[in-house]
Amino acid sequence: PADIIIKEVMRPAGISLCSVLECQGLPIVNGQCVVCSVCGVCVVCNVWCVLLTVSLCSVLECQGLPIVNGQCDPYAAVSLLGPSRSEAKKTKVKRKTNNPQFDETFYFEVTRPLSHTKRQFDVEEEGVDKLALRVDLWNASNLKFGDEFLGGVRVPLRALGQAGVHDAWYFLQPRDNGGKPVKVDELGSLRLNIVYTEDHVFPSDHYGPLRDLMLTSANVKPVSASAAHILGEVCREKQEAAIPLVRLFLHYGNILPFLSAVAHAEVNRTQDPNTIFRGNSLTSKCIDETMKLAGNHYLQVTLRSMIDEICTDHKPCEIDPENLRQYVDRIFNMITTSGVRCPTVMCDIFFSLRESAATRFEVDQDVRYTAVSSFIFLRFFAPAILSPNLFQLRPHHPDPATSRTLTLISKTIQTLGSLAKSKSASFKETYMAAFYDYFNEQKYGDAVKNFLDLISSSGRWNQKSIETPIMLKEGQSLISSSLQVHDQASPGRNRFGMKNFKKRWFRLTNHEFTYHKTKGNGEGALCRIPIENILAVERLEEESFKMKNMFQVIQPERALYIQANNCVEARDWIDILTKVSQCNRKRLSTYHPSAYLNGHWLCCKMSADTEPGCTPCTGGLPANIQLDVDGDREAERIYCLFSTYMNKLVNMQEACGSRSVYDGPEQEEYSCFLIDDPRETYKTLRVIISSVQTLEQQHTKYKRDMFRKTKIGSQDHPIGDKSFQCYIHQQSESSTYSI
């Protein structure tokens, strides 16, 4: 598309001048650009700034709800309504009360360009002025006709103004369906707390100094003097800082160095290995947020089918503990066999935690396991089982009976994952002691340790820094090897037959892949393949040797052809070998799915044995998780947090100065800050404050310019823009409004 700019340079006498200057944001018809009928030129759309609006709707309480058929079990459904969206979320059901206390908060986000030209955005949102929050109250009924509608409230976003907190009571309104009239006060009232904020996201270069300061946090010594750590210190809640920090670091690929640095610092401050990573520190919150983002698909694949079955079957588990035992057994098996699907970024983080903990507490042999299990079980799997709706495993809260079942399962999985010596010690339900004793068998502890060993093995690190190799898998299979070194004296390869295959015992550790003549021969390995030399692990077509369950381990100079005992074992070997080698730098992108026999490849018929592969490698598992993260948006959020807590930044600066020149008892307002190096921290604070003040000036200038341009008939608000006229009317009535 191009600009439409037409100017009449001559005007005949008696004819008024009408200059068609330009158009913006014309509709696209049937997938084609709109062409002006005057000059035949297309349309251009220019967007300079993006408006990010966020609404937090807290459903607090209700009073005087109607009682339907002798009962009132209310719940609220909260929706953000618009012409192209209807996003609904539900509260928990409150039983046997018409004055429920909900106290639940729901988060909605809308992005749109600050003009009517929205065609450049992949996801096109409706204008904020057309959106509204709707809260409907329902009575949860067991009748076949469904739940009964009690009343609702609709709050347009434009009524909330540009920003602010709105805490108010609303009368519930009846449905407008032509039914019998109902007095408003007969339906009860609802109390809502709505927080509506608008952030203007500038182009990327505006955030350069602040963004670079955040991304270099891992290199600052000590890390407590870094900008990212300071953000966690000044925010009221660590979670506030963790969300934009994690998303920013993930977007730019710097999450691992940052988390390793803050985790290492926290481990060094920990005195008791039993309390490692148990507090709500910045490290814990950042790793939690990383697991939620990077591990969402992993969680869905691992648990969703089982959670759906539990919520659908409604089996009584407290009356019949056998149902509960079967559920726990199946979920435990799903988790402990899912290690090969754990995202690479999570494995890298767990490896770093494991190494830091093992180095800090060398005497405690279990700390390398508890450091990882405190996250993967305590903060990932157990909460997802307990509240599946918060992890997108279920659309809504489960009913009370199912919720009780999920609570017992979650507590049992959490206890098993913590490697507690006595499983029954962590539970209050003494009548279920026999149930908990069932899981005291050693096989459960071994399964947890094997799982933790696998997910804390990382291909990005020097694995040989670990003193003892971690055994990941072993078993017996048939093997044959095919040399890939081209020799002029013998350009072809020997013919293969069954006599070329030998039974061997295979072992895989996080260091190497080996095979031995027998199981007990641990020292004399016939072949050792370092993990970094594995270029690909793929299936081998049956036509190669007329043998089933074949796979190949491809190395720089040879390929091992291996036959597993069955298809399940073949899949397991492929998955785990791919998992430990998927970060190797020289991994192949293509391979030959068949063997090289009789002077040519059976798959592509090429004669050169050095011919590149003819089929793309499957990879088995994704090496990285692609996330939809906008780095500029997260930088804007970080700026807003620093701006909000500017007073704390100034206090922290004063605390640094106080500690540098005065070594006595510090003032109470300074004691809440973690400052290891006052001089380095002061330097970082000075740069942060300068960057925030610069961005604040740019925001002020932008708002001033926008206010001057916001007139009816301007480019951003053409004549006929009713929402802008309403906005101007609201501002004219507000005596406190100023720019």
- Residue 82: band (very low, low, confident or very high) from pLDDT cuts 50, 70, 90: confident
Q: What is the pLDDT of residue 691?
A: 94
Would you say 681 and 675 are in contact if contact means Cβ atoms under 8 Å apart? yes
Amino acid at 191: R
Q: What is the pLDDT of residue 283?
A: 93
Condensed to tens digits (0 to 9), the pLDDT of residues 271-328 reads 888 888 888 899 999 999 999 988 888 899 899 999 999 988 888 887 788 888 899 9
The dihedral through the CA atoms of 516, 517, 521, 527 has a sign that is negative
pLDDT (average), residues 106-118: 58
CA distance 333 to 296: 19
- Residue 671: band (very low, low, confident or very high) from pLDDT cuts 50, 70, 90: low
Q: What is the pLDDT of residue 672?
A: 76
Percent of the chain with pLDDT over 90: 19
Written as six digits, the tokens of 592 are 């030959």
3-state secondary structure 533-557: HCCEEEECCHHHCCCCCEEEEECCC
Written as six digits, the tokens of 543 are 């036509």
Condensed to tens digits (0 to 9), the pLDDT of residues 317-356 reads 877 888 888 999 999 999 998 887 888 888 889 989 998 9
Tell me the whole-structure pTM to 2 decimals: 0.71
Residue 383: pLDDT above 90?
yes
Q: Which residue carries 């602040």 as its tokens?
A: 210
- Residue 189: band (very low, low, confident or very high) from pLDDT cuts 50, 70, 90: confident
Q: What is the pLDDT of residue 318?
A: 78
Q: What is the pLDDT of residue 556?
A: 85
pLDDT top residue among 99 and 111: 99
CA distance 254 to 241: 16
Which of 467-476, 566-575, 682-691 has the weakest average pLDDT?
467-476
Condensed to tens digits (0 to 9), the pLDDT of residues 446-456 reads 889 889 988 88
Q: What is the pLDDT of residue 289?
A: 92
The closest alpha carbon to 495, from 594, 598, 593, 600, belongs to 598
Q: What is the pLDDT of residue 333?
A: 92
Condensed to tens digits (0 to 9), the pLDDT of residues 205-255 reads 899 999 999 999 999 999 999 999 999 999 988 998 999 999 999 988 889
Condensed to tens digits (0 to 9), the pLDDT of residues 693-738 reads 999 999 888 878 776 666 666 665 666 655 555 555 545 444 333 3
CA distance 262 to 283: 6
Q: What is the pLDDT of residue 25?
A: 53
Q: What angle do CA 581, 584, 586 make, to 5 degrees?
A: 125
pLDDT (average), residues 190-197: 82
Residue 552 pairs with which residues in a beta bridge? Answer: 538, 561
Q: What is the pLDDT of residue 214?
A: 94
Q: What is the pLDDT of residue 519?
A: 80
Q: What is the pLDDT of residue 223?
A: 92
Task: Name, of 165-169, 373-377, 483-487, 628-632, the range with top average pLDDT.
Answer: 373-377
CA distance 172 to 151: 5
Condensed to tens digits (0 to 9), the pLDDT of residues 461-495 reads 454 554 466 677 777 776 765 433 323 233 344 44
Q: What angle do CA 331, 337, 339 make, to 5 degrees?
A: 115
Q: What is the pLDDT of residue 726?
A: 56
- Residue 579: band (very low, low, confident or very high) from pLDDT cuts 50, 70, 90: confident
Average pLDDT over all residues of the chain = 77
Q: How crowded is the C-beta side of 471, counted as CA atoms within 13 Å?
A: 8
Q: What is the pLDDT of residue 498?
A: 45
Q: What is the pLDDT of residue 511?
A: 79
CA distance 186 to 503: 81
Q: What is the pLDDT of residue 93?
A: 84
pLDDT top residue among 477 and 202: 202
Q: What is the pLDDT of residue 231?
A: 94
pLDDT (average), residues 523-551: 86
DSSP string of 575-603? HHHHHHHTT-TT--SEE-SS-EETTEETT
